[in-house]
Structure 1
Amino acid sequence: MPHFLIADSETLTEREARRAQAGKSSGETYSVTLKQLSPDCAIDIVQPADDDARTFLPDDITRYDAVFLTGSPLHVYDDTPEVRRQLAFMRAVFASGTPSFGSCAGLQIAVTAAGGRVRKMPERMEAGISRRIVATKAGQGHPMLAGRADTWDAPAIHGDEVEELPEGARLLATNPVTRVQAVEIRHDRGVFWGVQYHPELALGEIAVALQRQADDLVTAGLAESRDDVDTRADQIAALHRKPDERALRWLLGVDGEFADEDRRRREIVNFLAELSALDRRRKDSAVPSPAA
């Protein structure tokens, strides 16, 4: 029975706000997704950002088969106690050799912990749908993207992005809005796979996220008013309820890569399938990298 550790990147206030609007914290959303994909798994959820968070040492993490880092409103470039605790946790994950996966802020935490840089996106955001994602040469044939179409859309909402990848990272996917959409990082003894988008989220949760950040979207020029944001959120929520509805897919300009739950989760499914190859706890040599 696999044993997973989920690091909820949200603060207590953020978790409570998300539960009030979406019904679950980011960590609880990941837990539901993993239970659906791996019904026999055991899951622990921790909150590294909290003041009273347990300090994890590498040996504490080796008892888990994988670690997952969630998204959150966290800004990794802010030098705050919450950020420092998250980075210390991720460095322990890398040092443990336990395979790890993260989305959105989870990706940004791993990048920063390994020596890269994250920044606020200059005069833009990516919200609702990350469009026209394509694999790089290094990403073509990489197991994380196995089964992906030549071009795909994914759920996303973020105003920060990776500015510089750390040493030991390979850019696997990109799009016209945000250069780093998918990446593999080999740092210390660990292997991390991450995406800037949200394969773990149901479309209804993306709709709620848009409504929660409506003012930010208007300020960024993605919508003229909160009513416009509500309209787009309603369309995405409708697709959540009727993912096969051709009219809704046409209205949103998406296909099954975005609308179908099993295809939307492809990166997580592939990560779970590759855990034994990525596990470096009992082997010091790196697993062979796919051809660049």
Structure 2
Amino acid sequence: MLRFLVAESEPPEARESRRESVGRSSGETYLDTLLSLAPGARCDRIKPADAGAGLPAGASLAGYDGVFLTGSPLHLYKETPKTRRTVEFMRAVFASGIPSFGSCAGLQVATVAAGGTVRPNVRGYEAGFARRITLTEHGRSHPLLAGRPAAYDAPAVHTDEVETLPEGALLLAGNRVTAVQAAEIRFDAGVFWGVQYHPELGLDEVAGALLRQTDSLLDAGLARSQGEVEAYADQVDALHREPRRRDLAWRLGLDEQVTNAAKRLTELRNFIEALGRERGARQR
């Protein structure tokens, strides 16, 4: 039985806002997604950004097969108690040698923990979906992206990005807006696979994220009114409910890499399969 640790770095106020919007925090979404991919796995959730947070009683990092870092509104280029606690946790994960995976802010946390840098997006707000993510030479042969085509779209909502990867990291994918869309980072005793986008999110949660960030979308010039944001989010949510609606997919410019849940979850499935292979090798 695989054992997973989900590290939810959303601060409490963001956690509650997300629950009000879509009914679950980022960590709770991860738990549901992981159990759908690995039925029977044992999953624990911790909140490393929170003061006084720690592992479950009696647990140690060595007892887990993999660690998962969620998205978060934390800005990793700002030194605050919350970012400091989160980065210190990630350094402990690297030191433990336990493989880890992260999406969006998870990639940024791992980058900073290993000596890289993060900054505000310089080419604009990537909201709703990251378009035409393209594999690098390393990405075309890396197991994290096995099954992805040469170019694909994915759910994404972020205002920050990786500026410089740590020394020795592998750039696996990027697009016109965000140069680092997927990467492998090796630091200390550990290895991290991460993406800037959100394979764990259903389209209902993408719609909820757009609505929560309406003011930011207006400020960025991506919409001219609250009504435009709501109309777009309604279409995304409708496609979640009816993923085979070709008219909605056409209007939104999406294909099966996003609308098909199995394809959308590619990176998480690949990481879990890699953990299973590693566990099997240890037991032989």
The separation in 2 between residues aligned to 1:72 and 1:195, in whole angstroms, is 13
Q: Which residue does the alignment assign to 2:78?
A: 78
Q: Which is further off, 269-278 or 81-90? A: 269-278
Does 1:37 pair with 2:37?
yes
Q: How do 1:97-176 residues align onto structure 2 when only pairs under 5 Å count? A: 97-122=97-122, 124-176=124-176
SS of the counterpart of 2:72?
Answer: coil
Q: Amino acid of the residue matched to residue 208 of structure 1?
A: G
Does 1:87 pair with 2:92?
no
The separation in 1 between residues aligned to 2:23 and 2:213, in whole angstroms, is 16
Q: How do 1:219-238 residues align onto structure 2 when only pairs under 5 Å count? A: 219-238=219-238
Displacement, 1:278? Answer: 6.1
Q: Number of residues paired by the alignment?
A: 278
Q: Which residue does the alignment assign to 2:26?
A: 26
The separation in 2 between residues aligned to 1:185 and 1:126, in whole angstroms, is 23
Q: Amino acid of the residue matched to residue 149 of structure 2?
A: A
Cα pair 1:191 1:278 within 8 Å, conserved: no
The separation in 1 between residues aligned to 2:168 and 2:67, in whole angstroms, is 19
The separation in 2 between residues aligned to 1:12 and 1:119, in whole angstroms, is 23
The separation in 2 between residues aligned to 1:125 and 1:278, in whole angstroms, is 37
Cα pair distance change 1:166/1:79, threshold 3 Å: same
Cα pair 1:99 1:278 within 8 Å, conserved: no
TM-score by length of 1: 0.92
The separation in 2 between residues aligned to 1:217 and 1:278, in whole angstroms, is 42
TM-score by length of 2: 0.95
SS of the counterpart of 1:62?
Answer: helix
The separation in 2 between residues aligned to 1:227 and 1:78, in whole angstroms, is 33
> Percent of aligned positions with the same letter in both sequences?
56
Q: Which residue does the alignment assign to 1:289?
A: none
Cα deviation, 1:104-129, whole Å, max 9, x if unaligned, reads 00110000000000001136100001
Cα pair distance change 1:209/1:160, threshold 3 Å: same
Q: Amino acid of the residue matched to residue 238 of structure 2?
A: A
Cα pair distance change 1:26/1:11, threshold 3 Å: same
Displacement, 1:78? Answer: 1.0
Cα deviation, 1:189-241, whole Å, max 9, x if unaligned, reads 10100000000011000100000001001111111111111111111101101
Displacement, 1:168? Answer: 2.2
Q: Amino acid of the residue matched to residue 275 of structure 1?
A: L
Q: Which residue does the alignment assign to 1:240?
A: 240
Unpaired runs of 5+ residues, structure 2, are none
SS of the counterpart of 1:200?
Answer: coil
Cα pair 2:140 2:150 within 8 Å, conserved: no
The separation in 1 between residues aligned to 2:244 and 2:2, in whole angstroms, is 33
Q: Amino acid of the residue matched to residue 95 of structure 1?
A: A
More helix by share: 2
The two structures, once aligned, show a CA RMSD in angstroms of: 1.4
Cα pair 2:65 2:98 within 8 Å, conserved: yes
Displacement, 1:254? Answer: 0.8
SS of the counterpart of 1:53?
Answer: coil
Q: Amino acid of the residue matched to residue 91 of structure 1?
A: R
Cα pair 1:11 1:49 within 8 Å, conserved: yes
The separation in 2 between residues aligned to 1:147 and 1:124, in whole angstroms, is 29
Cα pair distance change 1:213/1:37, threshold 3 Å: same
The separation in 2 between residues aligned to 1:63 and 1:216, in whole angstroms, is 41
